[in-house]
Structures are given as C-alpha cells and as structure tokens.
Amino acid sequence: MSVEALVESLLYEGYALYPYTPGATKNATPTPFGIVYPPAYARGLGSAFDHLELQGVVDGDGEVTAEVRFLAPSGERHRAEPRRIDGAGSFRVGGLSVRTHMSAAPLEGGRRLISFRVENRTDAPADMDRAAAIGRSLISTHPILRVAGGRFISQLDAPCDSVNTWPVLASPEDDVMLGAAIVLPDHPQIAPESRGNLFDNTEIEEALILHVQALSDEERAEIEAQDPAVREMIERACAVTPEELLRLHGRVEVRDPVTREPPRPSADVRDPTRGLPEVEVDGVVLRRGAQVVVRPGLEADLQARMLEGRTVTVERIYRDYDGRVHLGVSVDQPGQEIMRETGRFLWFFPPEVEVVR
C-alpha cells in the first residue's frame, strides 16, 4: 500500500458522520482529528494546540525532506479542501497563515533527531467559539518525513517528544515516517476488501455501508445538495454489491504452520474453523450443540445480563493461548440462521452458563 493511499484515507477521518446530512446534530460542528488551532483560541485551552511537531530518529546520512497534508476549511460546517505544503517556510493557504520549520540534531552512532514543526499563525479574535476557531484551523493535519539513503527508527525503540501527532513508520523500507492524527501501529495497512474511503474510517466499514444504503430518499436528496465530497462517498457506498459487502464481513485464515496452503473444507468435527467438539471445565463437559442456560455474573456487560435465564445453543468452543475457554452461543430468535451462517455468536465463559442437555 502506498503512503499516498494511507494519507488519503486518514485525511477525511471525522469529516462528516452518519447519517451525513448537513442538518444532523453531530454534523453541526465538525469533529475532526489533528486540529492545529489559531493561537488566540489555543491559548485559552490546555487541550488545544496552535502547532504540532513530528520528531523521529533517522539512521543514516541521507537527505530528509518534509511535507504536511491537511484540510483547509472552505465553507460551512465540515466543508474543507485538501492542501499540501512542502518543506520549510511561511505560507498562505486560503485564509490560513502557516509556518513550517525542520531541524536536525546529531545523536550517537551516526543517528540524527529530526524535528518538523507546523505552526498555525492565523490571526483570530480571542473570544471566538470552537466552531469559529475550526474555520481558521488546519484540520486533519498529517506531517510526513522522508529520507533518501537511510531509515527511520520506530518510536517504540527510540521514543521522541512529538506534539499533537502520533509517529508511525509508513513504508516497508522504513524510509517514511508519518505523523498520524489518530493512534496507529507501525506499517498500517488498508484491508484489500475495503471499497474506498469513508469519513468515519475508525468504524466498521460493513456497518457504515449498510447504514448508507438504509438512508431514506429524503435524506439522500438532502445529501446530494451539499458538499461534493460527501455526495461522492454516499454514491460509492450505495453502489457496493451484495458480494462485495459479504467480503467486508471479515476474513479468517486458518493455516497449517508448515505450509502456505489453506485447509480444505471438511465436515470432520476436528475442523479447526469450528473450534473444539467438546471441553471439560471444572468437571463439567460442554459440547458443541449443547443446550445451556445463561447465568452471567455481576461483572458481565448489559447485553449478557439481558440474556439471563435464556436457553441458548453452544455453537463454537475455543481455547485461547492462556488456556481460557470461550463459548460462542446462538439464541433462538428470528434471523438466527443468518447469524449462524455468518459466524456471529454471543460469547460467554463456562462459569456463565449452566448445562441443561
């Protein structure tokens, strides 16, 4: 996956939220990540920043270049346009005044500490509210460092004092470090099943597409009259086929550790995708297909406690790496066959159930 594709998916995180209509309360004021506010607003809040700084340790003497990608407000509510600034200097981007600065400090072993700072120097009144401040802010700000002839060291191995951004290695060769607006692991990947960027990518894509396809005609008409970026996203989500949606449901690969060939489908009860056929816990034997009554403890979540006293069927039995047993159960209710076919079960521990037959 290219760095460009990764950044493109991150830029619009939080840009607009379901149901995506401009009149929705949650879209009245944008909820983006990676905000660099104007100084007058940031000074009044301990949780707001008028700058960000990406720091990373680079191994090697190759040239380091920097850029920053962000959205610049261009209209009411969440409307914004993608922008890019290369290198260091002072820039005017629409109504924004931006200054960038990069520095390098030598470290032991031929390494260097690289710092890339992005400052919002836009003039603004001190008494503005958040909505007005966002109109003078850099939104979804993502700084990027690249090195030619070297590699960056993971923040897990060489922690640095980055501010208002989360550093991750973003290329297979570790020659790109990205400052993400949300917490990501090194070498983040976009699932190949993904049908394209959504504006709340931290949610489940399958669920979001289903939500879009459930919009009323009136809601779609309202969306079509607003931001072209939102309209394009809605159109793309509505065009997803049932086959594509099924592929989004999930991917589990069970493979033999000494071969790259996937296991053949089997009706054998030892099929690993179906878990264990039975297990004994504290003298009680639990079998796949057994009927059990749910007896959740006080620490169980609300969904589990709502099933207290219900008789359910044990569909899957798994033992994790710590030896703890997990029971996947189904509830006799309309639509359960679909849940069973797609592997959607409710999960309990053995002490939370009572065998009846």
pLDDT tens sequence across 69-101: 999 998 776 788 999 999 999 999 989 999 999
pLDDT computed for residue 120 by the predictor: 98
Please give the residue that has the higher pLDDT: either 224 or 56.
56
Residues 6+ positions from 238 with CB-CB distance below 8 Å: 212, 213
Residues 6+ positions from 38 with CB-CB distance below 8 Å: 50, 120, 122, 123, 124, 133, 136, 137
Q: Which of 147-151, 174-178, 243-247 has the lowest mean pLDDT?
A: 243-247
The predicted model gives 168-181 an average pLDDT of 96
8 pLDDT exceeds 80? yes
Q: Which of 4-8, 113-117, 342-346 has the lowest mean pLDDT?
A: 342-346
163 pLDDT exceeds 80? yes
pLDDT computed for residue 198 by the predictor: 85
As a whole number of angstroms, the distance between CA 225 and CA 214 comes to 18
Q: pLDDT tens across 288-330, in order?
A: 999 999 999 878 888 888 889 999 999 999 998 888 999 999 9
The predicted model gives 237-262 an average pLDDT of 75
Beta strands in 121-243 (DSSP E): 139-148, 151-152, 166-169, 176-180
pLDDT computed for residue 22 by the predictor: 79
pLDDT computed for residue 257 by the predictor: 60
Of all residues in the chain, what percent are helix, strand and coil, respectively (each to 5)? 20, 30, 50
As a whole number of angstroms, the distance between CA 74 and CA 211 comes to 27
As a whole number of angstroms, the distance between CA 347 and CA 314 comes to 10
Is the bond preceding 19 in cis, omega lying within 30 degrees of 0?
yes
Pull the structure tokens for residue 303: 């969904």
pTM exceeding the 0.85 threshold for the entire prediction: no
Q: What is the CA radius of gyration of the chain?
A: 26
The predicted model gives 128-133 an average pLDDT of 88
pLDDT computed for residue 11 by the predictor: 92
CB atoms within 10 A of CB 242: 6
Reported residue count of the chain is 357
Pull the structure tokens for residue 162: 């980055």
pLDDT computed for residue 293 by the predictor: 94
Query: Which stretch, 13-22, 34-43, 252-261, has highest mean pLDDT?
Result: 34-43
Q: Which of 259, 275, 254, 265 is nearest to 319 (CA)?
A: 275
pLDDT computed for residue 269 by the predictor: 46
83, β-bridge pairs? 70
pLDDT computed for residue 239 by the predictor: 92
As a whole number of angstroms, the distance between CA 171 and CA 4 comes to 11
50 pLDDT exceeds 90? yes
Whole-number mean pLDDT of the chain? Answer: 88
**Residue % of the chain over a pLDDT of 70:** 92
- Domains of the chain by residue range: 3-238, 272-355
The predicted model gives 134-161 an average pLDDT of 95
- The DSSP element (H or E) to which 294 belongs, if any, is strand 291-294
